[in-house]
Amino acid sequence: MTEIRKIDDKVSEAIITSGEYRVSIYTLGAIIHSFSHKDRDIIIGYDSYEPYLTAVGHIAEVVGPYANRICDAEFEMDGTRYVLEKNNGKNNLHSGSKNFGSKFWKIAETTDNSVKLSLESPEAGGFPGSHHAEITYTLTEDGALSLHYRVESEKKCPVNVTNHAYFNLNGEGDIKGHKLMLTCPEYLTVDDGLIPVDRVSVEGTPYDFRSPELIGARLDGAYDNCLVFGEEKKAVVEGKDYILEMTTDLPAVQLYTGISLSSKVPGKNGKMLFPYQGFALETEFFPDSPNRPDFPGAYTDSDKPFETTTVYKLIVK
């Protein structure tokens, strides 16, 4: 069952219930407000939409047209240099003011177990062209939440869309005791600005999660890195009572363990957000791909829409 609840003139909430599972989506930023089994909500956030307007960390929003970082906030494409906003040191992060996650989306379509949101995004932030974006959230009775993105642009533009949800399978405490497995034989080393430098093997490094490992067992759990999938594109995270399986068709995932999570106002259940309270698995192309022809990436154009799907499945242990 899908229910639409109008909160005010700007924001509505779509609530999908499928069996024992429930997901709530705000039209602000296409934010995943909650994803729960019975009374266990595994998404970090706030009780209402207003705090998301000024929150740090891009919590649970759809990020686009280009998620992650672009070096020196500029890139060259077909002989033209495009200058973006520097909102992360000297770099551009998550598209700056153009970011889809800060915009008010509209509900385009619903079914018994899905909702499609759409956004008209005018040219801004240095990115070429206006965009039409869609995301369809579908929830199945066995706890699989599918995120299907479709992005079009009137001009050629690099694209790298993701969702920035922070998960905590235990519903409280930090996530360092969660056990993580990633089918990633490689990761990207980065410079001080977290711009990729080299693509290297995870063998013998703290980034080797090919076998399940506690998030906090190495580096004190501090991760903000792009890991490169092999033939299988999958993540498995285990908490006390639940397992989260993630699959995607994209070549990489940004593992971010909420190092800088914080809040000016209380989050859900009246508690302030704190570092390491949630982990993010941001499926993606490699960061800075417009400046790196050796990196996989994609572009939209007037006759070339882009589509991708990521699925998060919540499993009761």
pLDDT of residue 56: 87
* 282 annotated active-site: yes
Q: What pLDDT, in 10s, does the model give residues 22-62? A: 999 999 999 999 999 999 999 999 999 999 999 989 999 99
Q: Which domains does the chain possess?
A: 2-316 (2.70.98.10)
Q: Single out the catalytic residue among 13, 61, 152, 282.
A: 282
Q: Single out the catalytic residue among 58, 94, 164, 178.
A: 164
| CA 99 remoteness from chain centre | 12
- Does the pLDDT value for residue 69 go beyond 90? yes
- 260 is written with which tokens? 């800088």
What lies within 8 Å, CB to CB, of 292 at 6+ separation is 196, 286
- Does the pLDDT value for residue 157 go beyond 90? yes
Kind and range of the H or E run holding 18: strand 12-18
- 35 is written with which tokens? 């994803």
DSSP reduced 3-state for 243: strand
Q: What pLDDT, in 10s, does the model give residues 276-311? A: 999 999 999 999 999 999 999 999 999 999 999 999
pLDDT of residue 120: 98
Nearest to 46 by CA among 7, 16, 4, 17: 7
* 164 annotated active-site: yes
Peptide bond into 51 cis (omega under 30): no
